[in-house]
Chain A
Amino acid sequence: MHIDWFVLFCQIFNFLLLVYLLKRFLYGRIIKAMDDREAKIAARFAEAEELKVKATEAAGLYEKRNQLLNEAKEKMLNEATMAADAKRKELMEQVRVEVDQVKARWQDMLVREHDAFFYDLRQRAAKQLYATARKALRDLADADLEDRIVDEFLRRVKALDEEKSIQIRKAISGGGNQVTIQSAFSVSGQRRAQIEDVLKTQITNGFTIRYLQQPDIVSGIELRVNGHKIAWSLNEYLEALVESMTETLQKEAHAA
Protein backbone atom coordinates (compact mmCIF):
# COMPACT_ATOMS: atom_id res chain seq x y z
CA MET A 1 0.00 0.00 0.00
CA HIS A 2 1.46 3.29 -1.07
CA ILE A 3 1.65 6.19 1.36
CA ASP A 4 2.06 9.61 -0.11
CA TRP A 5 4.28 11.49 2.38
CA PHE A 6 3.07 14.86 1.20
CA VAL A 7 -0.52 13.83 1.83
CA LEU A 8 0.48 12.37 5.18
CA PHE A 9 2.10 15.60 6.36
CA CYS A 10 -0.69 17.57 4.81
CA GLN A 11 -3.21 15.55 6.81
CA ILE A 12 -1.15 15.99 9.98
CA PHE A 13 -1.12 19.73 9.32
CA ASN A 14 -4.83 19.71 8.57
CA PHE A 15 -5.56 17.86 11.79
CA LEU A 16 -3.34 20.09 13.92
CA LEU A 17 -4.92 23.13 12.27
CA LEU A 18 -8.36 21.72 13.08
CA VAL A 19 -7.26 21.10 16.69
CA TYR A 20 -6.07 24.69 16.93
CA LEU A 21 -9.17 26.16 15.32
CA LEU A 22 -11.57 24.10 17.37
CA LYS A 23 -9.63 24.89 20.52
CA ARG A 24 -9.74 28.55 19.62
CA PHE A 25 -13.35 28.77 18.47
CA LEU A 26 -15.16 25.86 20.10
CA TYR A 27 -13.70 24.16 23.15
CA GLY A 28 -12.44 27.28 24.87
CA ARG A 29 -15.71 29.10 24.49
CA ILE A 30 -17.97 26.18 25.17
CA ILE A 31 -16.00 25.04 28.19
CA LYS A 32 -15.93 28.60 29.49
CA ALA A 33 -19.69 28.89 29.00
CA MET A 34 -20.22 25.56 30.74
CA ASP A 35 -17.92 26.51 33.60
CA ASP A 36 -19.60 29.90 33.90
CA ARG A 37 -22.98 28.20 33.98
CA GLU A 38 -21.78 25.75 36.60
CA ALA A 39 -20.36 28.62 38.63
CA LYS A 40 -23.64 30.49 38.28
CA ILE A 41 -25.62 27.44 39.31
CA ALA A 42 -23.26 26.87 42.21
CA ALA A 43 -23.57 30.53 43.14
CA ARG A 44 -27.34 30.30 42.89
CA PHE A 45 -27.34 27.19 45.03
CA ALA A 46 -25.06 28.89 47.52
CA GLU A 47 -27.28 31.96 47.43
CA ALA A 48 -30.36 29.78 47.79
CA GLU A 49 -28.73 27.97 50.67
CA GLU A 50 -27.78 31.26 52.25
CA LEU A 51 -31.28 32.60 51.71
CA LYS A 52 -32.68 29.40 53.14
CA VAL A 53 -30.50 29.79 56.21
CA LYS A 54 -31.51 33.45 56.45
CA ALA A 55 -35.15 32.52 55.93
CA THR A 56 -34.88 29.87 58.62
CA GLU A 57 -33.23 32.36 60.93
CA ALA A 58 -35.84 34.99 60.08
CA ALA A 59 -38.62 32.48 60.61
CA GLY A 60 -37.11 31.54 63.96
CA LEU A 61 -36.73 35.19 64.85
CA TYR A 62 -40.30 35.98 63.83
CA GLU A 63 -41.55 32.98 65.71
CA LYS A 64 -39.64 34.09 68.77
CA ARG A 65 -40.92 37.64 68.35
CA ASN A 66 -44.41 36.32 67.87
CA GLN A 67 -44.05 34.27 71.00
CA LEU A 68 -42.72 37.29 72.87
CA LEU A 69 -45.58 39.38 71.50
CA ASN A 70 -48.07 36.75 72.57
CA GLU A 71 -46.48 36.61 75.98
CA ALA A 72 -46.47 40.41 76.19
CA LYS A 73 -50.08 40.47 74.99
CA GLU A 74 -51.01 37.86 77.58
CA LYS A 75 -49.15 39.78 80.26
CA MET A 76 -50.72 43.09 79.21
CA LEU A 77 -54.12 41.44 79.09
CA ASN A 78 -53.61 40.02 82.56
CA GLU A 79 -52.35 43.35 83.82
CA ALA A 80 -55.26 45.15 82.16
CA THR A 81 -57.69 42.64 83.63
CA MET A 82 -56.13 43.01 87.03
CA ALA A 83 -56.08 46.80 86.68
CA ALA A 84 -59.71 46.76 85.55
CA ASP A 85 -60.63 44.54 88.49
CA ALA A 86 -58.74 46.79 90.85
CA LYS A 87 -60.33 49.86 89.29
CA ARG A 88 -63.75 48.22 89.48
CA LYS A 89 -63.17 47.35 93.12
CA GLU A 90 -61.89 50.86 93.77
CA LEU A 91 -64.90 52.39 92.04
CA MET A 92 -67.24 50.01 93.82
CA GLU A 93 -65.59 50.90 97.09
CA GLN A 94 -65.81 54.56 96.19
CA VAL A 95 -69.46 54.17 95.26
CA ARG A 96 -70.06 52.21 98.41
CA VAL A 97 -68.36 54.90 100.48
CA GLU A 98 -70.32 57.58 98.67
CA VAL A 99 -73.52 55.63 99.13
CA ASP A 100 -72.66 55.14 102.78
CA GLN A 101 -71.92 58.83 103.09
CA VAL A 102 -75.15 59.74 101.35
CA LYS A 103 -76.97 57.20 103.46
CA ALA A 104 -75.33 58.55 106.59
CA ARG A 105 -76.18 62.07 105.55
CA TRP A 106 -79.68 61.02 104.75
CA GLN A 107 -79.95 59.19 108.05
CA ASP A 108 -78.52 62.19 109.84
CA MET A 109 -80.95 64.40 108.06
CA LEU A 110 -83.73 61.96 108.87
CA VAL A 111 -82.69 61.88 112.49
CA ARG A 112 -82.51 65.65 112.50
CA GLU A 113 -85.88 65.93 110.86
CA HIS A 114 -87.19 63.31 113.25
CA ASP A 115 -85.76 65.18 116.19
CA ALA A 116 -86.96 68.50 114.87
CA PHE A 117 -90.37 67.04 114.23
CA PHE A 118 -90.66 65.57 117.68
CA TYR A 119 -89.17 68.66 119.27
CA ASP A 120 -91.71 70.69 117.50
CA LEU A 121 -94.35 68.12 118.35
CA ARG A 122 -93.28 68.15 121.93
CA GLN A 123 -93.37 71.95 122.06
CA ARG A 124 -96.72 72.16 120.42
CA ALA A 125 -98.12 69.30 122.46
CA ALA A 126 -96.77 70.86 125.65
CA LYS A 127 -98.26 74.18 124.83
CA GLN A 128 -101.50 72.54 123.91
CA LEU A 129 -101.47 70.34 127.00
CA TYR A 130 -100.53 73.28 129.14
CA ALA A 131 -103.34 75.39 127.80
CA THR A 132 -105.78 72.52 127.99
CA ALA A 133 -104.77 71.54 131.47
CA ARG A 134 -104.94 75.11 132.72
CA LYS A 135 -108.31 75.63 131.21
CA ALA A 136 -109.54 72.33 132.57
CA LEU A 137 -108.25 73.04 136.02
CA ARG A 138 -109.74 76.52 135.95
CA ASP A 139 -113.06 75.34 134.63
CA LEU A 140 -113.43 72.26 136.71
CA ALA A 141 -111.42 72.77 139.91
CA ASP A 142 -111.11 76.48 139.87
CA ALA A 143 -107.38 75.99 140.27
CA ASP A 144 -104.37 77.59 138.61
CA LEU A 145 -102.01 75.31 136.72
CA GLU A 146 -98.87 77.21 137.74
CA ASP A 147 -99.85 76.88 141.36
CA ARG A 148 -100.38 73.18 140.97
CA ILE A 149 -96.99 72.89 139.31
CA VAL A 150 -95.30 74.75 142.14
CA ASP A 151 -97.20 72.54 144.59
CA GLU A 152 -95.97 69.42 142.88
CA PHE A 153 -92.45 70.88 142.85
CA LEU A 154 -92.63 71.58 146.54
CA ARG A 155 -94.01 68.09 147.21
CA ARG A 156 -91.04 66.58 145.42
CA VAL A 157 -88.63 68.76 147.45
CA LYS A 158 -90.30 67.60 150.60
CA ALA A 159 -90.19 64.01 149.49
CA LEU A 160 -86.41 64.09 149.08
CA ASP A 161 -84.66 61.44 151.11
CA GLU A 162 -81.88 62.23 153.52
CA GLU A 163 -79.09 61.19 151.22
CA LYS A 164 -80.34 63.32 148.36
CA SER A 165 -80.81 66.27 150.67
CA ILE A 166 -77.21 65.97 151.86
CA GLN A 167 -75.97 65.81 148.27
CA ILE A 168 -77.88 68.94 147.32
CA ARG A 169 -76.74 70.70 150.45
CA LYS A 170 -73.15 69.97 149.56
CA ALA A 171 -73.79 71.11 146.05
CA ILE A 172 -75.21 74.40 147.29
CA SER A 173 -72.26 75.04 149.54
CA GLY A 174 -69.87 74.02 146.68
CA GLY A 175 -71.71 76.27 144.20
CA GLY A 176 -71.27 79.54 146.07
CA ASN A 177 -74.51 79.21 148.10
CA GLN A 178 -76.59 80.14 145.13
CA VAL A 179 -79.55 78.24 143.77
CA THR A 180 -81.24 78.87 140.43
CA ILE A 181 -84.90 78.12 139.93
CA GLN A 182 -86.02 78.18 136.31
CA SER A 183 -89.62 78.08 135.24
CA ALA A 184 -91.67 78.49 132.12
CA PHE A 185 -93.86 80.98 133.86
CA SER A 186 -93.37 83.80 136.30
CA VAL A 187 -93.47 82.68 139.93
CA SER A 188 -95.36 85.02 142.17
CA GLY A 189 -93.84 86.49 145.34
CA GLN A 190 -96.02 84.40 147.59
CA ARG A 191 -95.01 81.22 145.90
CA ARG A 192 -91.34 82.34 145.99
CA ALA A 193 -91.53 82.74 149.74
CA GLN A 194 -93.18 79.38 150.04
CA ILE A 195 -90.45 77.76 147.93
CA GLU A 196 -87.75 79.42 149.97
CA ASP A 197 -89.33 78.19 153.21
CA VAL A 198 -89.57 74.65 152.01
CA LEU A 199 -86.02 74.62 150.71
CA LYS A 200 -84.62 76.05 153.88
CA THR A 201 -86.60 73.60 155.92
CA GLN A 202 -85.80 70.59 153.86
CA ILE A 203 -82.23 71.29 152.77
CA THR A 204 -80.29 74.13 154.33
CA ASN A 205 -80.07 77.76 155.19
CA GLY A 206 -77.78 80.44 153.97
CA PHE A 207 -78.20 80.55 150.28
CA THR A 208 -79.74 82.90 147.83
CA ILE A 209 -82.28 82.00 145.17
CA ARG A 210 -82.24 83.34 141.67
CA TYR A 211 -85.39 83.00 139.57
CA LEU A 212 -85.21 82.71 135.80
CA GLN A 213 -88.10 82.46 133.38
CA GLN A 214 -87.32 80.00 130.52
CA PRO A 215 -90.00 79.25 127.93
CA ASP A 216 -88.03 76.14 126.90
CA ILE A 217 -88.87 74.42 130.14
CA VAL A 218 -92.09 72.92 128.98
CA SER A 219 -94.75 73.85 131.47
CA GLY A 220 -92.51 73.15 134.44
CA ILE A 221 -90.20 74.34 137.14
CA GLU A 222 -86.76 73.13 138.08
CA LEU A 223 -84.10 73.73 140.67
CA ARG A 224 -80.52 73.54 139.46
CA VAL A 225 -77.54 73.62 141.71
CA ASN A 226 -74.06 72.54 140.81
CA GLY A 227 -75.09 69.48 138.78
CA HIS A 228 -78.15 68.49 140.78
CA LYS A 229 -81.68 69.12 139.77
CA ILE A 230 -85.13 68.88 141.29
CA ALA A 231 -87.83 69.47 138.69
CA TRP A 232 -91.31 68.80 137.41
CA SER A 233 -92.50 69.39 133.89
CA LEU A 234 -94.69 67.98 131.19
CA ASN A 235 -91.60 66.44 129.60
CA GLU A 236 -92.11 63.10 131.26
CA TYR A 237 -95.53 62.82 129.73
CA LEU A 238 -94.38 64.15 126.44
CA GLU A 239 -91.56 61.57 126.30
CA ALA A 240 -94.18 58.84 126.56
CA LEU A 241 -96.16 60.53 123.80
CA VAL A 242 -93.12 60.78 121.52
CA GLU A 243 -92.22 57.17 122.17
CA SER A 244 -95.69 56.04 121.31
CA MET A 245 -95.78 58.15 118.15
CA THR A 246 -92.36 56.88 117.01
CA GLU A 247 -93.50 53.33 117.46
CA THR A 248 -96.62 54.01 115.45
CA LEU A 249 -94.66 55.70 112.66
CA GLN A 250 -92.15 52.85 112.43
CA LYS A 251 -94.97 50.34 112.17
CA GLU A 252 -96.53 52.31 109.35
CA ALA A 253 -93.16 52.63 107.61
CA HIS A 254 -92.64 48.82 107.80
CA ALA A 255 -96.17 48.24 106.55
CA ALA A 256 -95.52 50.52 103.56
Chain B
Amino acid sequence: MEIVSLNQISPDQVIIWSWGFITLNVTILYTWLVMAILLFISWLATRNLSSEMKVSRWQHFLEVIISVVRGEISEMTKKGADKYIPLIGTLFLFICTCNVLVIVPGFVAPTSSITTTASLALCVFIAVPYYGISHNGLFHYLKEYFQPNFIFFPFHVMGELARTLALTVRLFGNIMSHEKVIGILLSVTPLLFPVIMQALGLLIGVIQAYIFAILSMVYIASAVSAEEEHHVHVDVKKEGSQA
Protein backbone atom coordinates (compact mmCIF):
# COMPACT_ATOMS: atom_id res chain seq x y z
CA MET B 1 0.00 0.00 0.00
CA GLU B 2 1.75 3.08 -1.24
CA ILE B 3 0.30 6.45 -0.28
CA VAL B 4 3.34 8.57 -1.01
CA SER B 5 5.11 7.55 -4.18
CA LEU B 6 8.87 7.43 -4.40
CA ASN B 7 9.05 10.51 -6.54
CA GLN B 8 7.12 12.53 -3.97
CA ILE B 9 9.57 13.95 -1.46
CA SER B 10 6.98 15.08 1.10
CA PRO B 11 3.57 13.72 2.08
CA ASP B 12 2.34 17.30 1.83
CA GLN B 13 2.10 16.68 -1.83
CA VAL B 14 -0.63 14.08 -1.28
CA ILE B 15 -3.70 16.26 -1.01
CA ILE B 16 -6.92 14.67 0.11
CA TRP B 17 -9.18 17.65 0.04
CA SER B 18 -8.76 21.36 -0.73
CA TRP B 19 -10.91 24.46 -0.79
CA GLY B 20 -9.14 27.59 -1.84
CA PHE B 21 -5.98 27.89 0.22
CA ILE B 22 -7.38 25.49 2.78
CA THR B 23 -5.77 22.17 2.13
CA LEU B 24 -6.17 18.82 3.85
CA ASN B 25 -3.20 16.61 3.04
CA VAL B 26 -1.80 13.34 4.36
CA THR B 27 0.50 15.13 6.81
CA ILE B 28 -2.36 16.86 8.60
CA LEU B 29 -4.49 13.73 8.54
CA TYR B 30 -1.81 11.55 10.10
CA THR B 31 -0.95 14.31 12.56
CA TRP B 32 -4.54 14.18 13.75
CA LEU B 33 -4.30 10.40 13.93
CA VAL B 34 -1.17 10.60 16.08
CA MET B 35 -2.80 13.24 18.23
CA ALA B 36 -5.85 11.02 18.63
CA ILE B 37 -3.67 8.05 19.58
CA LEU B 38 -1.74 10.08 22.13
CA LEU B 39 -4.91 11.49 23.63
CA PHE B 40 -6.47 8.03 23.73
CA ILE B 41 -3.45 6.61 25.55
CA SER B 42 -3.56 9.59 27.91
CA TRP B 43 -7.20 8.89 28.57
CA LEU B 44 -6.42 5.19 29.15
CA ALA B 45 -3.63 6.03 31.52
CA THR B 46 -5.40 8.73 33.47
CA ARG B 47 -8.97 7.43 33.64
CA ASN B 48 -8.12 5.40 36.76
CA LEU B 49 -5.25 7.48 37.92
CA SER B 50 -3.86 6.37 41.21
CA SER B 51 -1.28 7.82 43.53
CA GLU B 52 -1.09 4.53 45.41
CA MET B 53 1.67 1.97 45.02
CA LYS B 54 -0.31 -0.18 42.59
CA VAL B 55 -1.00 1.54 39.25
CA SER B 56 -2.25 0.52 35.81
CA ARG B 57 0.20 -0.55 33.09
CA TRP B 58 -0.55 2.47 30.91
CA GLN B 59 -0.04 4.81 33.80
CA HIS B 60 3.17 3.05 34.66
CA PHE B 61 4.35 3.26 31.05
CA LEU B 62 3.67 7.00 30.80
CA GLU B 63 5.10 7.63 34.26
CA VAL B 64 8.36 6.03 33.14
CA ILE B 65 8.51 8.22 30.03
CA ILE B 66 7.65 11.38 31.93
CA SER B 67 10.12 10.50 34.68
CA VAL B 68 12.89 10.11 32.09
CA VAL B 69 11.96 13.41 30.42
CA ARG B 70 11.74 15.07 33.81
CA GLY B 71 15.13 13.69 34.79
CA GLU B 72 16.76 14.86 31.56
CA ILE B 73 15.27 18.34 31.92
CA SER B 74 16.29 18.49 35.57
CA GLU B 75 19.88 17.65 34.68
CA MET B 76 19.97 20.63 32.33
CA THR B 77 17.95 23.22 34.19
CA LYS B 78 18.76 22.03 37.74
CA LYS B 79 15.37 23.34 38.89
CA GLY B 80 11.80 23.91 37.69
CA ALA B 81 11.67 20.92 35.34
CA ASP B 82 7.89 20.68 35.46
CA LYS B 83 7.54 24.01 33.63
CA TYR B 84 9.18 22.57 30.48
CA ILE B 85 7.64 19.12 30.53
CA PRO B 86 4.52 19.97 28.43
CA LEU B 87 6.61 21.29 25.51
CA ILE B 88 9.58 18.92 25.66
CA GLY B 89 7.50 15.91 26.62
CA THR B 90 5.01 16.55 23.82
CA LEU B 91 7.82 17.04 21.32
CA PHE B 92 9.32 13.71 22.31
CA LEU B 93 6.02 11.83 22.46
CA PHE B 94 4.71 13.26 19.20
CA ILE B 95 7.91 12.72 17.18
CA CYS B 96 8.52 9.29 18.74
CA THR B 97 4.95 8.16 18.05
CA CYS B 98 5.15 9.41 14.46
CA ASN B 99 8.48 7.67 13.89
CA VAL B 100 7.50 4.39 15.58
CA LEU B 101 4.19 4.12 13.72
CA VAL B 102 6.14 4.02 10.46
CA ILE B 103 6.30 0.28 11.05
CA VAL B 104 2.54 0.11 10.46
CA PRO B 105 1.87 -0.49 6.79
CA GLY B 106 0.13 2.46 5.16
CA PHE B 107 1.19 4.91 7.83
CA VAL B 108 3.05 7.99 6.67
CA ALA B 109 5.03 9.72 9.39
CA PRO B 110 4.10 13.42 9.58
CA THR B 111 7.73 14.00 10.60
CA SER B 112 8.78 12.99 7.09
CA SER B 113 7.19 16.27 5.98
CA ILE B 114 9.41 19.33 6.20
CA THR B 115 6.32 21.38 7.01
CA THR B 116 5.80 19.41 10.22
CA THR B 117 9.44 19.50 11.28
CA ALA B 118 9.57 23.18 10.44
CA SER B 119 6.44 23.86 12.49
CA LEU B 120 7.97 21.97 15.44
CA ALA B 121 11.26 23.83 15.03
CA LEU B 122 9.36 27.10 14.83
CA CYS B 123 7.60 26.23 18.10
CA VAL B 124 11.03 25.70 19.69
CA PHE B 125 12.28 28.87 18.01
CA ILE B 126 9.45 30.79 19.72
CA ALA B 127 9.71 28.85 22.99
CA VAL B 128 13.37 29.78 23.49
CA PRO B 129 12.82 33.54 23.79
CA TYR B 130 9.49 32.94 25.58
CA TYR B 131 11.14 30.99 28.39
CA GLY B 132 14.25 33.18 28.32
CA ILE B 133 12.26 36.40 28.68
CA SER B 134 9.83 34.96 31.22
CA HIS B 135 12.75 33.74 33.31
CA ASN B 136 15.30 36.54 32.96
CA GLY B 137 13.29 39.48 31.66
CA LEU B 138 13.39 41.12 28.21
CA PHE B 139 16.44 43.29 28.86
CA HIS B 140 18.65 40.55 30.17
CA TYR B 141 17.52 38.21 27.41
CA LEU B 142 18.26 40.70 24.66
CA LYS B 143 21.53 41.63 26.34
CA GLU B 144 22.77 38.13 25.66
CA TYR B 145 22.61 38.83 21.94
CA PHE B 146 25.20 41.56 22.40
CA GLN B 147 27.67 39.45 24.33
CA PRO B 148 30.57 39.74 24.43
CA ASN B 149 29.92 42.89 22.31
CA PHE B 150 27.40 44.26 19.81
CA ILE B 151 29.34 42.89 16.81
CA PHE B 152 28.18 39.44 17.76
CA PHE B 153 24.47 40.31 17.51
CA PRO B 154 24.08 39.19 13.88
CA PHE B 155 25.96 36.01 14.63
CA HIS B 156 23.65 35.25 17.53
CA VAL B 157 20.60 35.83 15.28
CA MET B 158 22.10 33.67 12.57
CA GLY B 159 22.85 31.01 15.13
CA GLU B 160 19.23 31.00 16.29
CA LEU B 161 17.97 30.68 12.71
CA ALA B 162 20.58 28.12 11.82
CA ARG B 163 19.81 25.81 14.69
CA THR B 164 16.09 26.07 13.94
CA LEU B 165 16.85 25.15 10.36
CA ALA B 166 19.12 22.37 11.59
CA LEU B 167 16.36 20.98 13.78
CA THR B 168 13.98 21.09 10.83
CA VAL B 169 16.22 19.51 8.29
CA ARG B 170 17.80 16.91 10.60
CA LEU B 171 14.51 15.33 11.56
CA PHE B 172 12.95 15.71 8.12
CA GLY B 173 16.05 14.34 6.35
CA ASN B 174 16.39 11.33 8.60
CA ILE B 175 12.79 10.24 8.50
CA MET B 176 12.13 11.09 4.88
CA SER B 177 15.32 9.42 3.70
CA HIS B 178 14.59 6.37 5.78
CA GLU B 179 11.14 6.03 4.25
CA LYS B 180 12.60 6.43 0.78
CA VAL B 181 15.36 3.92 1.52
CA ILE B 182 12.78 1.41 2.73
CA GLY B 183 10.66 2.04 -0.35
CA ILE B 184 13.62 1.54 -2.66
CA LEU B 185 14.79 -1.57 -0.77
CA LEU B 186 11.32 -3.10 -0.96
CA SER B 187 11.43 -2.84 -4.72
CA VAL B 188 15.04 -4.04 -5.00
CA THR B 189 15.53 -6.65 -2.23
CA PRO B 190 12.19 -7.71 -0.80
CA LEU B 191 11.56 -9.86 2.34
CA LEU B 192 14.33 -10.00 4.92
CA PHE B 193 16.54 -6.99 4.36
CA PRO B 194 13.78 -4.33 4.51
CA VAL B 195 12.66 -5.84 7.85
CA ILE B 196 16.12 -5.25 9.31
CA MET B 197 16.05 -1.74 7.92
CA GLN B 198 12.62 -1.22 9.48
CA ALA B 199 13.99 -2.30 12.88
CA LEU B 200 16.88 0.06 12.39
CA GLY B 201 14.35 2.70 11.38
CA LEU B 202 12.57 2.29 14.73
CA LEU B 203 15.84 2.87 16.54
CA ILE B 204 16.62 5.91 14.39
CA GLY B 205 13.11 7.25 14.93
CA VAL B 206 13.36 7.02 18.71
CA ILE B 207 16.86 8.51 18.68
CA GLN B 208 15.71 11.37 16.46
CA ALA B 209 12.82 12.08 18.80
CA TYR B 210 15.24 12.07 21.71
CA ILE B 211 17.71 14.32 19.86
CA PHE B 212 14.99 16.79 18.86
CA ALA B 213 13.63 17.00 22.40
CA ILE B 214 17.07 17.21 24.03
CA LEU B 215 18.33 19.86 21.62
CA SER B 216 15.16 21.87 22.17
CA MET B 217 15.73 21.67 25.89
CA VAL B 218 19.38 22.60 25.48
CA TYR B 219 18.38 25.72 23.53
CA ILE B 220 15.78 26.68 26.11
CA ALA B 221 18.11 25.89 29.00
CA SER B 222 20.88 27.98 27.45
CA ALA B 223 18.49 30.91 27.14
CA VAL B 224 17.25 30.46 30.68
CA SER B 225 20.58 29.83 32.34
CA ALA B 226 22.69 32.30 30.33
CA GLU B 227 21.81 35.18 32.61
CA GLU B 228 22.39 33.04 35.71
CA GLU B 229 25.79 31.96 34.42
CA HIS B 230 26.61 35.57 33.73
CA HIS B 231 25.68 36.49 37.32
CA VAL B 232 27.72 33.63 38.71
CA HIS B 233 30.64 34.57 36.50
CA VAL B 234 30.49 38.17 37.70
CA ASP B 235 30.24 37.05 41.34
CA VAL B 236 33.26 34.79 40.97
CA LYS B 237 35.27 37.60 39.41
CA LYS B 238 34.30 39.94 42.26
CA GLU B 239 35.32 37.41 44.88
CA GLY B 240 38.61 36.82 43.04
CA SER B 241 39.44 40.52 42.93
CA GLN B 242 38.58 40.91 46.63
CA ALA B 243 40.84 37.98 47.54
Contacts and interface: CB of A to CB of B under 8 A. Distances in A.
Given A2-B10, A14-B31, 12 more contacts: A1-B9, A3-B12, A6-B21, A6-B22, A6-B23, A7-B115, A11-B31, A15-B119, A21-B35, A22-B93, A34-B67, A37-B51
Interface string B86-98: 1101100110000
A4 B23 contact: yes
A119 interface: no
A99 interface: no
Nearest to A44: B53
A29 interface: yes
A37 B52 contact: yes
A34 to B, nearest CB: 6
Centre residue among A4, A11, A14 by max chain B CB count within 10 A: A11
Interface string A1-23: 11110111111101111111111
Contacts, number: 115
A17 B53 CA distance: 32
Contact of A27 (B10, B28, B35, B66): B66
A243 interface: no
Interface of B: 9-10, 12, 21-23, 25, 27-28, 31-32, 35, 38-39, 42-43, 45-46, 49-53, 55, 59, 62-63, 66-67, 70, 82, 85-87, 89-90, 93-94, 110, 113-116, 118-120, 122-123
Given A11-B31, A19-B86, A22-B86, A3 B114 contact: yes
Interface residues of A, number: 33
Contacts of B35: 14, 17-18, 21
A33 B21 CA distance: 44
19 contacts: A1-B114, A2-B10, A2-B12, A7-B25, A7-B28, A7-B113, A9-B119, A11-B27, A11-B115, A15-B120, A18-B39, A20-B86, A21-B42, A23-B86, A26-B62, A30-B62, A31-B85, A33-B50, A36-B51
Contact of B94 (A4, A10, A15, A27): A15
Contact of B66 (A1, A3, A9, A30): A30
